[in-house]
Amino acid sequence: MAHINLLPWREAQRARKQKEYLTILGCVGGLTLGLVLAFNMLVGHWQEQQRERNQFMQSEIAKLDQQIAEIRRFKEQKANLMRRIEVIETLQQRRHLPVQVMNELARVMVPGVYLTRLQVQDGRVQVEGYCESNNHLANMMREVEQARWLASPKVQQIVASDKNENYLGRQHAFKLELTVLSEGEGPLKDEQHLAALGGTR
């Protein structure tokens, strides 16, 4: 019976399998390396996109901060302008106030009361004069309480003079303080308004 030597075939088969294994291992290693490189490139792309988003957000935030600062400046300018307008309106209203006060004083004067001195300062009127009696001064104070531009009459001083040293009608010297209503909001304002409404009917 003839003997067949299988050793060379086995060696060749072993070499072939080893070569196949190394080929598969190389393919797997190459594929793994490719995947790792691709993943790194993808992550780098994501990071670059995120950096661009962050830069865009920072740029937009800077623009918003600038707009907010401008809005604050506009609000401050508006507030300053409104204050100036209020000051101008107040000055315009007060420009006619002395005339209104003088007209009101003439209206509240009653017979038997005479003024000798008048001073307007800080929203108050200091009045000095003479009256024939305390009742005459009281009547004038009641007129002031009903006035439109004057209010809160306060007697600072009243002195009974010697009749022999003063002519008739100058028997009591007084000092009176009145409050000026810069807006003309006294009781007479309502009466004048009602009278105006009645006149239009």
| 37 lies in some domain | no
Whether residue 158 contacts residue 134, with contact meaning beta carbons closer than 8 Å, is answered with yes
Counting the structural domains of the chain, the total is 1
**Domain assignment of residue 116, yes or no:** yes
Exposed/middle/buried for residue 16 (C-beta within 10 Å: 0-12, 13-18, 19+): exposed
Judge whether 114 lies within some domain.
yes
In a domain, 62, yes or no: no
Query: What is the C-alpha separation between 90 and 86, in angstroms, rounded?
Result: 6
Chain segment 48-87, per-residue pLDDT in tens: 899 999 999 999 999 999 999 999 999 999 999 999 888 8
Residue 137 near residue 157, CB atoms below 8 Å: no
**Residue 169 resides in a domain:** yes
In a domain, 131, yes or no: yes
Question: Which CATH number do you get for residue 164?
Answer: 3.30.1360
Question: pLDDT tens digits, residue range 96-129?
Answer: 777 888 888 889 999 999 999 988 887 888 999 9
CA atoms of 168 and 161, how far apart (whole Å): 11
Note down the domain range covering 156.
Answer: 109-180
Residue type, 112: G
pLDDT for residue 179 is more than 70:
yes
Residue 96 falls inside a structural domain: no
pLDDT confidence of 193, banded at 50, 70, 90?
A: very low
Would you say 170 and 130 are in contact if contact means Cβ atoms under 8 Å apart? yes
CB-based burial label for 97 (10 Å; 0-12, 13-18, 19+): middle
Inside any domain, residue 139: yes
Percent of all residues in the chain with a pLDDT value above 70, rounded to a whole number: 81
Extended beta strands in 11-54, E state = none
Q: What are φ and ψ of residue 132, in 5° steps?
A: -70, -30
The pTM is what? 0.48
